[in-house]
């Protein structure tokens, strides 16, 4: 009898061990899946960089596909987690939809190529205007549809927005040291017992001359992808006016002084006062750039009324030769201003 009980007990123990092992495996699998889902929710949402191509190894691609096959989340969520493209149009390998107007696109591309061959900067608006000049009803004349078409056109023909290549400029160590010394010395003069201790910040003025060109500065242009040199032709520097701008340390602006290109005292110079708005002064100079006479005129029309309001003042200027003429410095000092 005891032998028969032992024979029955052994299969029961083996069956119980098998069931316990199966339950343990199922519980471990559930814990792993739950942990993966928690990690997926806690992980930051990545997105592919716009305008840049990303390259994935075969191992990376296989891991993404295997994760999707587990069915833990949707294809969109898996793609978002691994920062791969989520748009179906980016995953297709066919030719895509047919071009709506091949003749128009060919004309626009020819126009763009002609301008770029002459090193003329090309903007997206220029190409859209060209397309509408050929067919005013193209894309229904809707701005959003026109830009969508244009960016698709640029993508098909390996065009993109580029910045013109130029030589970088760096300040030398000598100039940096000079700048630091100037700032340190000037700041020290505003301290107690300094020569500028009694000068309030609303009487500290910085003035500088700046050119304003008739044609805007080129920042971007449409050009071929991967081109090592992106040229952009700009207008002549002679087509400009100059403006003397001054502002106090507290942000108050002094009246601007504009220098136009012309003969001093001639017809244009004499008619400026009639067409200028209030609190704007101007004169004419042959090269449209401040010289000794125009700098003295600025001092009389702009600085003298400001300095005559009373109290000490400080005028900060650059190292331009007109600012160092004895006559100019004497007249500024007579107004009670330090230069």
Q: What is the pLDDT of residue 43?
A: 47
Q: Which residue reads 């500024």 in tokens?
A: 332
What gap in Å lies between CA 275 and CA 273, rounded to an integer? 6
d(C-alpha 107, C-alpha 131), whole Å: 8
For residue 79, the tally of other CB atoms under 10 A from its CB is: 20
Q: Where are the domains of the chain?
A: 2-91, 102-157, 200-214+241-338
Average of per-residue pLDDT values in the chain: 78
Residue 44: which pLDDT band, with cuts at 50, 70 and 90?
very low
How far apart CA 305 and CA 80 sit, in angstroms, is 65
β-bridge mates for residue 162, sequence order: 221
Q: What is the pLDDT of residues 144-157, one digit of tens each?
A: 999 999 999 998 89
Q: Are 335 and 193 in contact (CB under 8 A)?
A: no
- pLDDT tens digits along 179-202: 888 888 888 888 888 888 888 888
The pLDDT of residue 2 is 47
pLDDT, residue 162, reads 85
Specify the pTM. 0.48
**Residue 322: pLDDT band with limits 50, 70, 90:** confident
CB 313 within 8 A of CB 306: yes
DSSP assignment letter at 278:
T
- Give 200-214+241-338's CATH code, choosing from 1.10.10, 3.40.50, 3.30.70, 3.30.420: 3.30.420
Number of Cβ within 10 Å of residue 105's Cβ equals 19
Q: What are the φ and ψ backbone dihedral angles of 226, each rounded to 5 degrees?
A: 80, 0
Q: Which two tokens stand for residue 99?
A: 């071009």
pLDDT digits (tens, 9 = 90+) for 70-98: 877 777 777 777 777 655 555 444 555 67
């Amino acid at each position: 009898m005891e032998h028969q009980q032992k024979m029955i007990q052994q299969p029961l123990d083996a069956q119980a061990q098998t069931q316990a092992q199966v339950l343990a495996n199922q519980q471990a699998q559930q814990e792993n899946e739950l942990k993966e889902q928690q990690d997926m929710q806690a992980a930051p949402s990545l997105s592919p960089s716009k305008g840049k191509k990303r390259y994935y190894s075969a191992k990376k691609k296989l891991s993404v596909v295997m994760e999707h096959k587990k069915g833990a989340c949707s294809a969109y969520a898996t793609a978002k987690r691994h920062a791969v493209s989520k748009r179906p149009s980016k995953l297709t390998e066919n030719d895509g939809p047919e071009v709506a107007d091949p003749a128009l696109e060919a004309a626009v591309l020819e126009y763009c190529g002609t301008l770029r061959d002459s090193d003329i900067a090309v903007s997206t608006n220029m190409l859209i205007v060209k397309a509408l000049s050929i067919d005013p009803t193209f894309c229904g004349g809707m701005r959003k549809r026109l830009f969508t078409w244009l960016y698709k056109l640029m993508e098909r023909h390996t065009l993109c927005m580029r910045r013109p290549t130029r030589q970088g400029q760096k300040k030398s160590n000598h100039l940096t040291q000079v700048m630091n010394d100037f700032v340190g010395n000037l700041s020290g003069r505003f301290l107690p017992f300094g020569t500028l201790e009694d000068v309030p910040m609303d009487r500290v003025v910085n003035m500088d001359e700046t050119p304003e060109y008739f044609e805007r500065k080129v920042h971007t242009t449409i050009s071929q992808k991967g081109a090592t040199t992106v040229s952009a032709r700009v207008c002549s520097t002679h087509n400009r006016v100059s403006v003397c701008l001054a502002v106090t340390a507290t942000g108050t602006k002094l009246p601007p002084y504009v220098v136009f290109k012309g003969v001093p005292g001639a017809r244009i110079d004499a008619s400026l006062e009639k067409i200028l708005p209030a609190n704007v002064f101007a004169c004419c100079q042959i090269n449209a750039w401040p010289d000794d006479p125009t700098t003295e005129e600025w001092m009389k029309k702009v600085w003298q009324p400001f300095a005559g309001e009373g109290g000490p003042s400080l005028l900060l200027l650059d190292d331009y030769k007109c600012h160092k003429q004895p006559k100019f410095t004497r007249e500024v000092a007579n107004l009670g201003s330090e230069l």
